[in-house]
Structure 1
Amino acid sequence: MSYTDAVHAENEGTARGGVTSWRTIMLVVMGLLGAAVLVGLLITLGGANRQRDRALELQAHSYDVMILARTLSGTIARSEASLGRYVISGDRKLGQLYFDQWRLAASQITRLDNITEDNPAQQRPIDRLRDAYQSRGRELSLTALSTYYGKNNQALSRYYQARKGPSLVNIDKLLDEIIDHERELLDKRTATAMRTVDRSSRIAGVLAVFGILLVLGAILLGWFTIRAVEERANARADADAARALAEELSTAVAEATDELRVQERKLRQVQKMEAVGQLTGGIAHDFNNMLAVVLGGLELARRSVDSDPAAAARHLDNATEGANRAAALTRRLLAFSREDSLKPEPIGAATLVAGMSELLDRTLGDEVTVVTEDRAAGWQVRADRVQLENAILNLAVNARDAMNGRGTLTIATGTILLGKDAVGHCAAGEYVTIAVTDNGCGMTPDVVERVYEPFFTTKAVGQGTGLGLSQIFALVRQLDGEIAIRTAPDQGTTVTLYLPREDNPEPSGEIVSIMPAPAGPTRPLTVLVVEDDPRVMAAALGALEELGHIGIPCDDPFAAEALLDRHGDVDLILSDVLMPGQTGPEMIAALSPRFPHLAVLFVTGFAGDVDAAEFIDRDVLRKPFTLTALERAVAAAMARERPAPPEQIAAE
């Protein structure tokens, strides 16, 4: 072999080696490219799957938020519908149903807050929704309290005003805002998922160009792409189905609300008649019992009046007691219907508590030690004495039950100067405090939050109605005061009433009971009796005659002026309050310019819509009355200062 041949062979071998090395490099590069393509495909498809799963999770979360918001709207609607039926019927079960639905709405707001805690944009309207819910609750609580106290007209008025109240509109607006925001968030998330899938598809297409030599890789890439597209289509279909379901739920809630309103209107008249029937039945039963005592006593007295005067007197006493019980029932009915005016008067807090000592001892039992502390410095409050005594007695009974009938009860009166809103929503000023403290079991915070709610009680069934503290709460608010509770489990309870100090100890001109008056007039009086009921007229004339006075009957208030002109020696006008055509105060107001010197005594058993201010400083005698009460009332009316008669002024 020549040198030239050797060189040629070496060059050829070198060329083959170079081609082989190039092929190896190309194979390695193709393998690396193939591996890169496969890895790129796997990463791209894996990322697309994760984004899809995340998008589906977020979509489901958004649907949960929207469905919960719609459910909350339905719960609030059912609660208010139950309150409306409670206002109409006065049925406590409906009041309890309203309360349960309203508490359910609170738990739904809390759940809505929990599932959106990762979204600050949703937290702000949810916080405002909670505030609007609490504001709405306070409005509806006033309606519930008015219903409980029998103020049906006021409760209905408040209920229909509340239906148009800003808090309800605000709740609906905030719910719509939450749903709209969640729907916008859902649309953004869906668009983001679609963009992610589209970007993944583009990357997969680019990688497919480099994987042409890898047919299997291309087939796999196509298979994964087709699968991703199908899953995206399925996800979109699921989203459309969920959206349709949410709309169906919203429509169902609206239809249910409309149906409840229709049923409420249908049941209103029936419930009203049932309530009237129950009330009249109970009243008739009690009055029949009392009338049986009265009629039986009178009949027995008639039979014994000649043969046994002592027995006749005893039977007459029994009949009188029955009549007094009937009168007391009437007064309780008037108080229940809020038609009997309160009798506010200046009351010394410490004196009131001291005067209740015997009543408290008898009511609470021997195993409860009652301790009173007077730090009121003689300060007074203006309140109805009976209602304030009932409030203190109610607190004492609750304290006894908290101590299981054995322990120490402390009732302390004091004084305090409060700033504005220092306790609840009180105004700034001086207050008298009445604090009732026990060493009983105490209360947990969740119980304290509900103690003022009507129908709420921690006592066993049949041992409490849940109305005591709600009545005290209403009384304190009526007196422009406040109430506070300090308690803890196993550390006892202190309930403190903050009542505004009375600066003016003089009587306020309210309707008050007739107190013992000076001795009666020394001469017979001529009395004009204005009464539209002939039986009451006959009784009044007979009573005046029995007392030695002369009665002039007048059955029409418009005829009183003519009778006064005809009888110039009239000393006193004895007038009913409510009469057809004109009330007693209206008649006296019309007669006063001409007859300012005449004494006036109003007699009434039902003040109705007459404002207490219309009585001015006239005396008021409550029906039914005894001869002694009439004698004292006449003496008190005659003792009041008034102008001299015109003829006396002319003579002077």
Structure 2
Amino acid sequence: MSDARVLVLAPIGRDAAVAVALLGRNGLAADAVEDLPELTRELAQGAGAAVIAEEALSGDGLDDLVSWLDGQPPWSDFPLIVLANGHKGVRSPRAFERLDRLRNVVLLERPLHAESMVRAVRSALNARRRQYEARDHLARSREELERLVIERTREREEALALLHEAQKMETIGQLTGGVAHDFNNLLTPVMGSLDLLRRRIGPDDARSQRLVETALQASGRAATLVQRLLAFARRQDLQPRAVDVGELLAGMEDLVRRSIGPTVEVVVRAQSDLPSARVDPGQLELAILNLAINARDAMPTGGVLTIEASICANDDPHPARVPAGSYVRISVSDTGEGMDEATLRRAVEPFFSTKGLGKGTGLGLSMVHGMAAQSGGDLQLASTPLVGTRADLLLPVADEVAAPAEKNHYDAVAPARSGTVLLVDDEDLVRRGTAEMLIDLGYSVIQAGSGAEALRVLRAKDTAVDMLVSDYLMPAMNGADLVMEAAKLRPGIAALLITGYANLTQGLGNELPRLAKPFRQAELAARIAELLAGKSSEAPMAAQASA
């Protein structure tokens, strides 16, 4: 190996031949050179060390040797062993200058013992070998660094892409929430006007009754769609309550079928004696829809999607990380591609997705998992590659029975109570439509287009106001702030907030009675009658607000 050989330059007599022979007998490869130019040429071919008689340094070619030494790469410091002439400390300045120019020099004074020379050469070769090892280590480190740079660059690009997707989804969510809120405002007077028309149409006009009923059913479905959009935008007022999961799945079946397309067979079934689950129904619908769409994406060529609801306990085959007790289990399973163990472990991580860029945000399962945890339940995943995936959503059983669907009460309009309602809404169309419903119920109505205008009415001592009905989201002053100010001016006044999506968790918002848009006349009538009947019990809350 040329990088391990020793070059010997000793121009006088047989010194070079003797040195080469000595090194050879000790297992060291050595070659003799005649002068400095040849030494420099051989160094370029590869060597581990060089032995140079001091008298050879006074010949031609020293500058070329020094240039070669100065041009070494950063990892290299070629070792030279110089056999001194026996000056015994009396060396000319010129001789010192030549030695200093050679950089890495070990000086051996002659005469020297053969063993000393062999040991010096071995030491030089060992030092040179360490330099080669450092070179290789640096090369590996550089390759590793380049690999890490490439990997970090790729991860950064992926993170930026995910951030872009998240920002895009946030923008879509904000746009969806705004559009859905405006759509709720439009639906409110539509549904209210249809209710008023139906009450004015005589029972003998069956055709008109059917037309109005069809319009009411269509607007009801539109209201349900808006609630799903608001759930997607996370702008709805989230309130866990007892939910009939079987009824909810039956109501969602058509939506699921239309969402996943004709290539996937949908099977929906629920246990007959299933208890109610305590959960926010809007969040639950969104979670089930997310799981269904994930299942569809895992079955690009078609398959079977099964959605089941049953009762389970902690000793079931799928133990949950939840307290002991009974749970309603909603299972969404598919016959798709499945996931390996590594993918399954990361499936609920935010922004983790196996879909291509632009085809998913990686937030679906994490949102479902978060919803389950916040509801006191859990999300369990099981999957086998090429067999399919099963997602078990466990929800706590409610202590109470789920209330009947609102549609069963649409026709039951509560009898009116006499009184004056101060109605506040910045949307003229919504305010006028709501006022017509209240007037039809027999109430006197004072309309205000802003919180400031409503406060002016309340400051007028000669104006009787029995109840304040206000929109929540309004410019300058929202409905919750208006109620707080109203309580200071009229202690004990009954109040009702009407909202399309506000999450009322600040101030009085979490305690105030509220009615979600869009609403039917029967809902409005029942809520107002209930609040006016219990007006005295609302006084402590109003007094607290005025404190």
* Fold shared per TM-score above 0.5: yes
Match of 1:39 in 2: 25
Matched residue of 1:392: which SS? helix
C-alpha contact (below 8 Å) 1:149/1:336 kept by paired residues = no
Aligned partner letter, 2:353: F
Match of 1:409 in 2: 306
Moved more, 479-488 or 51-60: 51-60
> Which of 284, 288, 310 in structure 2 is aligned with 1:392?
288
Say if 2:458 is the partner of 1:472.
no
C-alpha contact (below 8 Å) 2:435/2:445 kept by paired residues = yes
Match of 2:382 in 1: 486
1:170-209 maps to which residues of 2 (within 5 A)?
none
| Structure 1 position 321, deviation (Å) | 8.1
> Which of 553, 558, 567 in structure 1 is aligned with 2:463?
567
Say if 2:393 is the partner of 1:497.
yes
Match of 1:128 in 2: none
Match of 1:347 in 2: 243
Partners of 1:317 and 1:545 in 2: CA distance: 22
| CA 67–32 in structure 1, closer or farther in 2 if over 3 Å, else same | closer
1:146-545 maps to which residues of 2 (within 5 A)?
147=167, 150=170, 331=227, 334-347=230-243, 352=248, 370=268, 372=270, 378=275, 381-396=277-292, 398-399=294-295, 405-406=302-303, 409=306, 411=308, 413-417=310-314, 430=325, 432=327, 433-438=329-334, 441-449=337-345, 451-452=347-348, 454=351, 456-457=353-354, 468-479=364-375, 481-499=377-395, 501=396, 505=400, 516=409, 519-545=413-439
Matched residue of 1:443: which SS? coil
Aligned partner letter, 1:585: A
> Which of 589, 606, 627 in structure 1 is aligned with 2:484?
589
C-alpha contact (below 8 Å) 1:529/1:574 kept by paired residues = yes
| CA 80–341 in structure 1, closer or farther in 2 if over 3 Å, else same | farther
TM-score w.r.t. length of structure 1: 0.48
User: What CA RMSD, in Å, does the superposition of the two structures yield over aligned residues?
Assistant: 5.5
Please list every run of 5 or more consecutive structure 1 residues that lacks an aligned counterpart in the other structure. Answer: 1-30, 93-143, 153-274, 299-308, 647-652
Aligned partner letter, 1:56: Y
| Structure 1 position 622, deviation (Å) | 3.1
Match of 2:112 in 1: none
| Structure 1 position 361, deviation (Å) | 7.8
1:46-100 Cα deviation digits (max 9, x unpaired): 966686456424423234325634763675467457646764xxx43xxxxxxxx
Partners of 1:84 and 1:480 in 2: CA distance: 34
Partners of 1:325 and 1:498 in 2: CA distance: 28
Partners of 1:356 and 1:331 in 2: CA distance: 13
Match of 2:443 in 1: 549
C-alpha contact (below 8 Å) 1:601/1:618 kept by paired residues = yes
> Which of 148, 153, 163 in structure 2 is aligned with 1:72?
148
1:275-331 Cα deviation digits (max 9, x unpaired): 89x969x969x98xx99xx9xxx9xxxxxxxxxx99999998898788778766765
| CA 373–64 in structure 1, closer or farther in 2 if over 3 Å, else same | farther
1:414-448 Cα deviation digits (max 9, x unpaired): 44449xxx86xx56555734333455553323443
Aligned partner letter, 2:443: H
C-alpha contact (below 8 Å) 1:519/1:635 kept by paired residues = no
C-alpha contact (below 8 Å) 1:526/1:572 kept by paired residues = yes
Partners of 2:179 and 2:479 in 1: CA distance: 28
Partners of 1:361 and 1:327 in 2: CA distance: 19
C-alpha contact (below 8 Å) 2:458/2:490 kept by paired residues = no
How high is the sequence identity, in percent, across the aligned residues? 30
Matched residue of 2:28: which SS? helix
TM-score w.r.t. length of structure 2: 0.55
Partners of 2:246 and 2:224 in 1: CA distance: 28
> Number of matched residues?
403
C-alpha contact (below 8 Å) 2:266/2:304 kept by paired residues = yes
Aligned partner letter, 1:542: E
Please list every run of 5 or more consecutive structure 2 residues that lacks an aligned counterpart in the other structure. Answer: 1-16, 31-47, 50-121, 195-204, 541-547
1:613-628 maps to which residues of 2 (within 5 A)?
614-628=508-522
Matched residue of 2:508: which SS? helix
Partners of 1:85 and 1:443 in 2: CA distance: 23
| Structure 1 position 486, deviation (Å) | 1.8
Matched residue of 1:435: which SS? strand
Match of 2:497 in 1: 602
Matched residue of 1:587: which SS? helix
Matched residue of 2:382: which SS? strand
Partners of 1:542 and 1:635 in 2: CA distance: 16
| CA 67–504 in structure 1, closer or farther in 2 if over 3 Å, else same | farther
Partners of 1:317 and 1:349 in 2: CA distance: 27
Partners of 1:524 and 1:387 in 2: CA distance: 38
Matched residue of 1:642: which SS? helix
Match of 2:61 in 1: none
Partners of 1:311 and 1:431 in 2: CA distance: 50
Say if 2:507 is the partner of 1:579.
no
Aligned partner letter, 1:559: R
Partners of 2:501 and 2:269 in 1: CA distance: 40
Partners of 2:216 and 2:281 in 1: CA distance: 26
> Which of 132, 135, 145 in structure 2 is aligned with 1:59?
135
| Structure 1 position 551, deviation (Å) | 0.9
C-alpha contact (below 8 Å) 1:485/1:494 kept by paired residues = yes
Partners of 2:533 and 2:346 in 1: CA distance: 52
C-alpha contact (below 8 Å) 2:245/2:309 kept by paired residues = no
Q: Say which structure is richer in strand.
A: 2
Partners of 2:215 and 2:248 in 1: CA distance: 33
Matched residue of 1:582: which SS? coil
